[in-house]
Amino acid sequence: MRHNVWATGVLLLAGCGAALAQAPGADTIALRMQAHNAERTAALEGYQAERVYRVHYQGTGGEHEAEMHVRLEFRAPGAKHFVIESESGSKFLCDKVLKKLVESEEEAAGKAARLQLVLSPENYNLQLVGEETWNGVPAWVLQVEPKVADKFSHRGRVWISKDDYGLMRVVGEPAKSPSWFLSRAAFEYRYGREGGRFWLPMQNESSSHVRIGGEATLSIEYSGYQIETVAKEVAALRR
C-alpha cells in the first residue's frame, strides 16, 4: 500500500515536471503578456465602474475605520474622472487617507497598472514555478524578484492566464518600504475578465504595520464595469 502511494506521488511529480518543461519560459510568458496588454489597451475606448474604498486601523490610537463609495469614468488613453458618492466612519481617515487615494490614482489603482507595464525580463528576474487553475481559469504562476529594489517594485508571485496572457493575480510585498512610516507591508491584487477580453481590477487588499504601533488594512473593491470598445473593434466583432 505504501509503495503504491509513493509511486503515485512520483508519477504526479513527474507529470508536473513534464508539463513545466513543455511550457514557455518565464521571460517569454511576460513578453507575451505585454504584447497582449498592448492589444487590449488599443481596443479599449473607456469604461465606467464603481469602487468601494475601506480602511481599518487598530493600534495605539484605538480602532478606527472608514468607507467611501466612488464612481469612476475612464476615457482612453488615461483620462479619469472620480465622483465621491458617499463616505462614512472616521472623518480623519476619510479626509487624510481615502480621499488622498482617490485624488492620487498613482497610489491606488496606479500601482496595479504599473505592475503590468514593468513586469518584464529587463526589470525583473522571472521564474516559472507552477501552473494553477484560479477562478476557473488555467494560469502560469511566476516568481518575480526586481533587479533594482525601490518603492515602486515588488517581489512575490503573479498569475497569468494561459489562454490570453492576462494578469489575473499578484501577491507580494514592496521591494522597499514606500514610507518611513511603515515597517512592513503586503498586498494582493485580483483581476477579472470584463467585456470578454479586458482584464481589469476586481479587488486590491494591502496590510501594513505602522512603526509607531498598530496595523492598517486597506481594501478597494471594483464592480459595475460598463465597457466601451473603439469603433473598429465593434465593427470587427459584427463581421
Mean pLDDT of 190-208: 92
Lowest mean pLDDT segment, chosen from 36-40, 190-194, 199-203, 212-216: 212-216
pLDDT beyond 60 at 81? yes
Residue 214 has phi, psi (to 5 degrees) of 115, 170
> What is the structure's pLDDT at 215?
86
pLDDT beyond 50 at 232? yes
Residue boundaries of the structural domains of the chain: 25-238
pLDDT digits (tens, 9 = 90+) for 19-34: 555 778 999 999 999 9
Cβ proximity of 55 and 218 under 8 Å: yes
Question: What angle, rounded to 10 degrees, do the helices at 26-43 and 109-118 form?
Answer: 120
pLDDT digits (tens, 9 = 90+) for 155-192: 999 999 999 999 999 999 888 765 544 556 789 999 99
Beta bridge partners of 237: none
pLDDT digits (tens, 9 = 90+) for 64-73: 999 999 999 9
